[in-house]
Structure 1
Amino acid sequence: MTGPLAGLRVVDFGQYVAGPLTAVLLADQGADVIHVDPPGGPRMAGVADAFLNRGKRRAILDLKRPGDLAAARRLAASADVVIENFRPGVLTRLGLDLDAIRQQHPALITCSLPGFGADDPRARLRGYEGVIAAATANCEPRPGEEPVGWDWERPAYSALPLASSFAAYLAGVSIVMALIARRRTGRGQRVEVPLFDAMFTLIGHSGAYVNERGLRPPRPIHGRGAGAFRCLDGRYVQFDTSSARHLSWFARAAGLLGRLDPELLDLTSNARPEVNERLHAALRAEFLTRTAAEWEEIGNAAGAAIGFVRTPAEWIGTEHARRTHAVAPVTDPELGAIWCTGLPVALSEFPDPPLRPRRLAGADTDAVLAELDGEPARPAPGPGSAPSAGSEPEVALSQPLSGIRVLDLGLALAGPTCGRILAEFGASVLKIGSPAAGVGGYLNRGKESLLLDLGTLAGQEVYWRLVEHADVVLENFSPGTAGRLTIGSDEVLARRPDLVYTSISCYGLGGPWTGWRGWERQGQAVTGIMERTELPSVLGPYNIVDIGTGILGAFATALALYHRQSTGRGQLASASLVQSATYHQALFMFDFPGYRPGEPRGYFALGESPLQRYYRAADRWFFLAARPEDIPALAAVTRQPELARRTGAALEAALDDAFAADTAQALVARLADAGVAAHVIVPIADLMTDAVVRARGLSVSQDVAGVGSCTMPGVSPRLSDTPALAGHPPRRPGEDARQVLASVGLADRLDALERGWVVRATDLPAAWP
């Protein structure tokens, strides 16, 4: 076993997706994970099990049998981390009270991932993906990406389990943060990341607004010619002009200069809608002259951001996916040699982590029970994990990263999201931006800010002074930029081998596309997510790839910091948009002879089956999440006894008719009383002002200087002893220049640095855009 988590025991009682996925994240980083199934095997069997239980030992225990329940208690007590994703209270009612076990073994870390938190009125509701999607408005296209003539009242169902995935990513981060805290205090704690709560981290800036203005409607992302274009071979590319100069680079490489009306390529003129429409028309004609693969090569060779819209199978077959470990081969005991989702992060100290195939359900039951019989009982109440050697326990540690200093050079969404999450876990984060610009708002919450020109020698002098005092440097510059400025990982780690350097990019490190540029759209396009919409177009109202990569960047950073605690060594940690996008699709990302993906696809999909589907009530849509054994309850709620005799399309049609006669809220309430999960669709504006959401801190308001009261998502993970906190309101970019320079002995240089436009400390941008 190798990896930063080698030597740790994790017991995984999880079923379906969120719990097992969290455990996979830890298993792939070296933890010894024991997955416990009920009699009959996992609740999500089939091909997905080959990924969800990869690298774990597996036991079957029946918690309704006294002997097996006693073994489960002993197994939990022997662990460093226990994971479960039952509804609140279910595991305790079965006799496995993790809180009680942790009281006897204070070093234990427990992690719960229910659909809804214990203090949420919906705690008893089964948190199926469609239920959480309806509850968090994650069920519509992005404006400008919808099918022609789209009915905006209609929901769209995606098979990607985003609520479970984001909960697992945040749980992975939180568990490693709790391990970092345990190294400092000797104490474990309780971690909770409900699926509903996790969605607020994904919502991110989409739910952030100045209260006086209200929530701004989302805008299409097709400025300056950006979008999906059909090519000569009938395939599509996704062209991105988030950086306007990429259009100019592409035009030069494509031979458009002198052929197109100059106004179309003028970066001031084509910002106007009417010119942009003409530019799109010209580009549609141009892209039809070459194949999608040819355009991808031409555009990326020019430095533009353009991605060929591939299928998941085509992505698995690329050299780049394989060399970056975004996908990986394993030999499965049932399926044979397969390719599946690989790793979501990379650590330079562990460049080629061996991924182990799954064991079949129950394969290790006897061995695990024999180990328990041979292990001495862990003493109670002494801690099972002492603080770092040579240090005393920190009795009053407030947050896991208290005392850790981070330089956040992040741009756009993924990098700043990573920095904000590190701040939420207690790090002192300094956001460094260019004097000519400055990203404000929700992304900079909890951070100090300095506007510094890193392209000047004077700016680099300041940078290196800051590096001397830092623990982490975080950046997501365009590929090669940090190296050209000589401030990248090679230079930083040569000077500070004990520092963690976190790099976030579109395509990751080590493959032939590493030098290519890209954003959310390219991450979705090349990995198969965009192809799932069948248009193709950007999937989802939220930035699933950018925000996911920000969280996984924090996971990589936490792993590197945990490893540094025991070794004193820093390293290069990295995450990428394509690795995150691959991980989002892990339940369907397979390649082996005979594999045929069968999940629902396209914007017109409403669900998985008649029992797991969106339905239109008399006034609005809601999601029904019923089980086959719930059909008698459905018949009673709808007063349609013949439902029990119907299946397939006939059942769907009958439910359609029955539900259309009543209001959605009344139906959902009656279904809940009958023990059937369902949820109305909640618009994002209503969600951010919902009383339960506000009371639970998932939507918070802060007074931002010069702007007034602003609403934004709160913090999703809950840690019982060293909590994650929202931090202070966003400050104006550059506001902290004087104190930052003073902290590294450069207070007397501020005026000269400002005169030379190296530092910007006056006439600052607004704190909220």
Structure 2
Amino acid sequence: SRCSSHLPRPTACPPPAQRASQTMSIPFAKVRIVECGTQLAGRLTARLFADQGAEVVIVVNHDCRAVKEFNAETNAYLNRGKIKLDLPEGDGKSKSDMIKSADIVIVDGESAECQRSDKQILLRVCAALIGDQVYGYLPHDCDDDFLNGLVGFYTDMAQESFLDRKVIYTPLRLCSVYCGVTGAVACAAALVDRERSQLGREIQASRLAGGIAAIGALSLTIEGPSLPKYLISAPISYVRKGLDMKDFEVIRKEAVHNPLKQLWLEQRLVPLGAPYPCSDGRLFLPMATFNRGIARRLVDLLGIWSKVQELGIVDCTAYEAANDKYRFHNLALPLNFAWQTGCSLAELLEATFKQKTAAEWEALCCDHKIACATVLSFQEWFEDEETRKAKIVAQVEEQWQIGRSVWLETAKPYPPRLQAKEFQGADASAMLAELLRSKVAPCPVKAGGSAWDSGEALHPMKPLAGYTVIDFCNVLAGPACGRMMAELGATVYKVGPKLPDHAPVVMVTWQAEENIGKQSIMLDLKSEAGKKVVRQLLSKADIALANKHDAQVEAMGIGRSTLDSIVEGGGKGPKIIQLQVTARRGEEMQGVQAANWPGYDPALQGKTGIMERFGPQGSPTFHGVASCVDYLTGYTACFSGLTALYAREANGVVSERAGTSLACCATLVQCNMQGDSPVVRGPWARGRTALNRIYQVGQPKTPENADPEYWIYAQAGRNLCDEAKAFKGTREEFLEQLRKEGILAVPVHTCKQIAEISKTEA
């Protein structure tokens, strides 16, 4: 399928003086990045900076495998807004001079091209961290497919493993996309710190670590004698109270090969979080599985609450021990529903959703603050009128491309997006001379001291030390943003409710990871006492972080006008940055119906085509419930917040509102799907080609449903399928045999296995 359209050329750009004025209002307008690497992660890091005004100069030859593996549309997106200099072979001095002028230099692996000066930031994009004792053997330019196998993306991302699908290939470049975003975060933090320290840094961005950063929620285990039983979440599985396993086996076997039966089964296992057919034949996905308040609003809106009560379902908090007796029929814990309860509720929902079209249900539910989505393919999402109106997908001269992933209100309206400018021969030499006339060495904008007044020595691993973030987020994306800021040295105060609507799996299990490094306080934000404490906290803030829509932000007392007024007690007032993580928003809000609609990672997987890509035709399937989109959104939000912080420190920008959204990041994670998207899809996918794929090793007892420990990923000059299955030794012995032949191959891990390996090595 094709996801790009050619349009008439846009109207002429503003005159030079006006363009210069517009450019200087963009945060990184005075930052130069020289791109010496060819890996997707580094190119994406530079792409994110270019969207925020950085001058990005490409000085590397793109006639290589790492670039050619992507189609023209994807490469056009990655090069957008950059300057590409095709310098003559052997002209090392010109390239060296260009590198010396850069604020940030991006290289692959252990490249020695950049001898970093003390004010430069050097980003090394690696497969694994240099010197890693376990994975250091991986070439820095190795295919993402190897890394995806190692970190668990072929196993735990497969949500229907009980349907004989314990290992499924994914064509998403998850490790590189995550690494590209975290690399941008690290560089932005280093730029912020350079304004006060006058010093640059060398940064290693590991693609393997980028992948691991996406699986936290899938590798957690929560236990211990001090944790009350009613707060321990049941494992997400197909096992349900009252389910006869003999009967289930009959259903399961049919669902393996019948997509409609699979959909029927998923509706009964997760009735408040599975797609349902509507009157127009399209699938509608309600997402009320993790939030008691949303679940109640849904059944009330549908007019079925009385019938739901007749099924024995109650609506009570999961955070009181006395209510544990309702755990198998509590609206707050739908993943625990007994089998018959789930079946009966699914039948009610199935009949109700057939009464309207999917689009009608989506608008109605979202207007009532119920997260949901009409299930689309990526092509449908890419071409959707609302998607383009919001500039989640944006016009770039004659082409449609993925738009900006983050935005700052003070930078709007952004200048028109332009394709890369390529210069060859004499033109390249002339452009090089012009670039070197404008800047010959890296330099901070100010001479330090902009926000650093503690007198303490700066910490080399904590560039955000001295800054304070007040984190009002829940679930995963927003809290992941706050956690990353804490990891970078910021002081983060986590503000949470006393009695949350979200289930314990969200507020206890997931938050065990997301609150690392934070100081927490529980408040009643509706009370006057709670509001007073919030204002006191905000008087310390540099950033107020929330994953709320506009009305909620205002009601909580953290809207832009309120922040501007907080000057008592040392409050920074207009200098406080409002950082907002939303669900469906893009760069443009005006006239966009979905701008304030709610959402969760799974709902956006349905909306943006991820589910359609991974399920069998007729039964779209999640690609990991809490990793594919959520964490990426959190880290992208961190980049947005640091972009705003840099604009404040370097350019004096105040009263800033910065943001990103689940929708933008669900689109970004599919950046290699633009244009002629890969045909690899569905639950039986094994690899991009017949030779680059996952293989089953040996003859396990259940070959149609082999456990992950029987699988490897390899790229060889021959198909290894038959010899791998016939191999009599262990998987490790087969891998060693391939290594002796010079064939790169890796074991397929689960998320918990890679977490255990990482913990052991640490």
From the superposition, tell whether residues 217 and 72 of structure 1 become closer, same or farther in structure 2 (CA, over 3 Å).
farther
Find the counterpart in structure 2 of residue 459 from structure 1.
Answer: 530
Q: In structure 1, what is the Cα distance between the partners aligned to 2:309 and 2:224?
A: 42
Query: Given that residues 195 and 449 in structure 2 are in contact (C-alpha distance below 8 angstroms), is that contact kept between their aligned partners in structure 1?
Result: no
Q: Secondary structure at the match of 1:349?
A: helix
Matched, 1:130 2:148: no
Letter in 1 for 2:414: P
Q: Secondary structure at the match of 1:192?
A: strand
CA deviation vs aligned residue, 1:711-757 (integer Å, no higher than 9, x gap): xxxxxxxxxxxxxxxxxxxxxxxxxxxxxxxxxxxxxxxxxxxxxxx
Find the counterpart in structure 2 of residue 517 from structure 1.
Answer: 598
Q: In structure 1, what is the Cα distance between the partners aligned to 2:738 and 2:131?
A: 21
Which of 89, 95, 99 matches 1:72? 95
Which of 724, 736, 739 matches 1:672? 739
From the superposition, tell whether residues 30 and 528 of structure 1 become closer, same or farther in structure 2 (CA, over 3 Å).
same
Find the counterpart in structure 2 of residue 38 from structure 1.
Answer: 61
Query: Given that residues 468 and 543 in structure 2 are in contact (C-alpha distance below 8 angstroms), is that contact kept between their aligned partners in structure 1?
Result: yes
Q: CA deviation at 1:354?
A: 2.7
From the superposition, tell whether residues 392 and 239 of structure 1 become closer, same or farther in structure 2 (CA, over 3 Å).
closer
- Over aligned residue pairs, what C-alpha RMSD do you find? 2.9
Which of 393, 402, 412 matches 1:341? 402
TM-score by length of 2: 0.78
From the superposition, tell whether residues 11 and 395 of structure 1 become closer, same or farther in structure 2 (CA, over 3 Å).
farther
Which of 614, 621, 628 matches 1:537? 621
Letter in 2 for 1:420: R
Q: In structure 1, what is the Cα distance between the partners aligned to 2:374 and 2:44?
A: 29
Matched, 1:236 2:303: no
CA deviation vs aligned residue, 1:661-704 (integer Å, no higher than 9, x gap): 334323333433444322111223322221x5543x4xxxxxxx
Q: In structure 2, what is the Cα distance between the partners aligned to 1:625 and 1:57?
A: 36
Which of 338, 346, 349 matches 1:283? 349
Q: In structure 2, what is the Cα distance between the partners aligned to 1:526 and 1:324?
A: 15
Find the counterpart in structure 2 of residue 184 from structure 1.
Answer: 196
Matched, 1:425 2:505: no
Q: Secondary structure at the match of 1:169?
A: helix
From the superposition, tell whether residues 6 and 285 of structure 1 become closer, same or farther in structure 2 (CA, over 3 Å).
same
Query: Given that residues 141 and 603 in structure 1 are in contact (C-alpha distance below 8 angstroms), is that contact kept between their aligned partners in structure 2?
Result: no
From the superposition, tell whether residues 232 and 391 of structure 1 become closer, same or farther in structure 2 (CA, over 3 Å).
closer
Structure 1 residues 548-557 or 464-473, which shifts more?
Answer: 464-473
Aligned length: 641
Q: In structure 2, what is the Cα distance between the partners aligned to 1:139 and 1:115?
A: 18
In the TM superposition, what are the counterparts of 1:729-744 in structure 2 within 5 Å?
none
Which of 689, 696, 706 matches 2:756? 689
Matched, 1:411 2:474: yes
Structure 1 residues 346-355 or 405-414, which shifts more?
Answer: 346-355
Q: CA deviation at 1:522?
A: 1.6
Find the counterpart in structure 1 of residue 218 from structure 2.
Answer: 206
Which of 170, 179, 184 matches 1:172? 184
CA deviation vs aligned residue, 1:290-339 (integer Å, no higher than 9, x gap): 321122122223322111011223223334322332111012xxxxx221
Q: Secondary structure at the match of 1:353?
A: coil
Q: In structure 1, what is the Cα distance between the partners aligned to 2:440 and 2:272?
A: 66
Query: Given that residues 187 and 383 in structure 1 are in contact (C-alpha distance below 8 angstroms), is that contact kept between their aligned partners in structure 2?
Result: no
Matched, 1:576 2:576: no
Q: CA deviation at 1:24?
A: 0.3
Find the counterpart in structure 2 of residue 388 from structure 1.
Answer: 448
Runs (5+) with no aligned partner, structure 2: 1-22, 226-231, 239-265, 316-325, 501-506, 567-572, 700-708
Find the counterpart in structure 2 of residue 312 from structure 1.
Answer: 378
From the superposition, tell whether residues 463 and 565 of structure 1 become closer, same or farther in structure 2 (CA, over 3 Å).
same
Structure having the higher helix fraction is: 2
CA deviation vs aligned residue, 1:42-98 (integer Å, no higher than 9, x gap): 444522111111110002347xx5x333332222111110112x3x33x23xxx2x3
Find the counterpart in structure 1 of residue 388 from structure 2.
Answer: 322
Q: CA deviation at 1:249?
A: 2.2
Find the counterpart in structure 1 of residue 229 from structure 2.
Answer: none
Q: In structure 1, what is the Cα distance between the partners aligned to 2:380 and 2:481?
A: 29
Q: In structure 2, what is the Cα distance between the partners aligned to 1:384 and 1:293?
A: 50
Q: CA deviation at 1:435?
A: 2.1
Find the counterpart in structure 1 of residue 259 from structure 2.
Answer: none
Q: In structure 2, what is the Cα distance between the partners aligned to 1:436 and 1:39?
A: 54
Q: Secondary structure at the match of 2:645?
A: helix
Query: Given that residues 82 and 421 in structure 2 are in contact (C-alpha distance below 8 angstroms), is that contact kept between their aligned partners in structure 1?
Result: no
From the superposition, tell whether residues 15 and 362 of structure 1 become closer, same or farther in structure 2 (CA, over 3 Å).
farther
Runs (5+) with no aligned partner, structure 1: 332-336, 591-595, 632-642, 644-651, 698-769
Q: In structure 2, what is the Cα distance between the partners aligned to 1:665 and 1:228?
A: 40
Q: CA deviation at 1:219?
A: 4.4
Query: Given that residues 165 and 684 in structure 2 are in contact (C-alpha distance below 8 angstroms), is that contact kept between their aligned partners in structure 1?
Result: no
Q: CA deviation at 1:465?
A: 1.9
Query: Given that residues 501 and 571 in structure 1 are in contact (C-alpha distance below 8 angstroms), is that contact kept between their aligned partners in structure 2?
Result: yes
Which of 479, 483, 499 matches 2:576? 499
Letter in 2 for 1:521: P
Q: CA deviation at 1:262?
A: 3.2
From the superposition, tell whether residues 56 and 672 of structure 1 become closer, same or farther in structure 2 (CA, over 3 Å).
farther
Query: Given that residues 194 and 448 in structure 2 are in contact (C-alpha distance below 8 angstroms), is that contact kept between their aligned partners in structure 1?
Result: no
Which of 684, 692, 701 matches 1:612? 692
From the superposition, tell whether residues 152 and 587 of structure 1 become closer, same or farther in structure 2 (CA, over 3 Å).
closer
Matched, 1:245 2:293: yes
Q: In structure 2, what is the Cα distance between the partners aligned to 1:433 and 1:229?
A: 33
Q: In structure 2, what is the Cα distance between the partners aligned to 1:298 and 1:372?
A: 53
Letter in 1 for 2:31: L
From the superposition, tell whether residues 514 and 181 of structure 1 become closer, same or farther in structure 2 (CA, over 3 Å).
same
Q: CA deviation at 1:202?
A: 0.8
Q: In structure 1, what is the Cα distance between the partners aligned to 2:524 and 2:659?
A: 24
Structure 1 residues 272-281 or 616-625, which shifts more?
Answer: 616-625
Query: Given that residues 450 and 649 in structure 2 are in contact (C-alpha distance below 8 angstroms), is that contact kept between their aligned partners in structure 1?
Result: no
Query: Given that residues 402 and 667 in structure 2 are in contact (C-alpha distance below 8 angstroms), is that contact kept between their aligned partners in structure 1?
Result: yes
Find the counterpart in structure 2 of residue 358 from structure 1.
Answer: 419
Percent identity among equivalent residues?
Answer: 27
TM-score by length of 1: 0.78
Q: In structure 2, what is the Cα distance between the partners aligned to 1:681 and 1:216?
A: 26
Which of 534, 542, 554 matches 1:483? 554
Which of 174, 177, 202 matches 1:162? 174
Query: Given that residues 155 and 749 in structure 2 are in contact (C-alpha distance below 8 angstroms), is that contact kept between their aligned partners in structure 1?
Result: no
Q: In structure 2, what is the Cα distance between the partners aligned to 1:376 and 1:286?
A: 64
Q: Secondary structure at the match of 1:411?
A: coil
Q: In structure 1, what is the Cα distance between the partners aligned to 2:212 and 2:448?
A: 34
Q: Secondary structure at the match of 2:138?
A: coil
From the superposition, tell whether residues 386 and 489 of structure 1 become closer, same or farther in structure 2 (CA, over 3 Å).
closer
Q: In structure 2, what is the Cα distance between the partners aligned to 1:551 and 1:174?
A: 10
Matched, 1:602 2:682: yes
Find the counterpart in structure 1 of residue 319 from structure 2.
Answer: none
Query: Given that residues 39 and 61 in structure 1 are in contact (C-alpha distance below 8 angstroms), is that contact kept between their aligned partners in structure 2?
Result: no
Q: CA deviation at 1:26?
A: 0.7
Letter in 2 for 1:175: C
Q: In structure 2, what is the Cα distance between the partners aligned to 1:71 and 1:542?
A: 46
Find the counterpart in structure 2 of residue 527 from structure 1.
Answer: 608
Q: Secondary structure at the match of 1:660?
A: helix
CA deviation vs aligned residue, 1:361-418 (integer Å, no higher than 9, x gap): 555633443346757864xxx9766633779997821121111111111111111111
Find the counterpart in structure 1 of residue 726 from structure 2.
Answer: 661
Q: In structure 2, what is the Cα distance between the partners aligned to 1:553 and 1:234?
A: 36
Q: CA deviation at 1:541?
A: 5.9
Query: Given that residues 549 and 576 in structure 1 are in contact (C-alpha distance below 8 angstroms), is that contact kept between their aligned partners in structure 2?
Result: yes
CA deviation vs aligned residue, 1:224-250 (integer Å, no higher than 9, x gap): 632121223332111111222323322
